[in-house]
Amino acid sequence: MTDKKRRTYTAEFKREAVDLVVKQGYTNAEAARNLGIHGNMLGRWRREQFKGPQNAFPGSGHQSEELEELNRLREENRKLKLEREILKKAAVFFAKESG
């Protein structure tokens, strides 16, 4: 099996790619072919920028508040589950010791 690494693109690259289509009149297919990306990817970038240009392409470092909170809560939930498992094992251990 081939280990293909997923390519990442900067927000600036994505904006410039969308500008090729929107401002310079290229078709999605032409712009994508020239940039070496898939046309569907460019279409997705266009939709994302159209929905909210100021929030488009946040990357992993600039997440929305809701996404940050969701990630924080998921991490907290993971830790709590781990602590609960540890406490269960400790309870079983001490029950065996005393009984």
State both tokens at 68: 């940050």
SS3 per-residue string spanning 1-33 = CCCCCCCCCCHHHHHHHHHHHHCCCCCHHHHHH
- What is the average pLDDT value for the chain, to the nearest integer? 85
98 pLDDT higher than 90: no
Instruction: Determine if residue 57 is left, alpha or beta; phi over 0 gives left, psi from -120 to 50 gives alpha, anything else beta.
Output: left
pTM over 0.75: no
CA–CA separation, 38 and 33 (whole Å):
7
Element at 36 (helix H, strand E): none
Question: How does pLDDT run across 44-67, given as a tens digit for each residue?
Answer: 899 888 887 666 776 655 567 787
Q: Residue 11's pLDDT is what?
A: 84
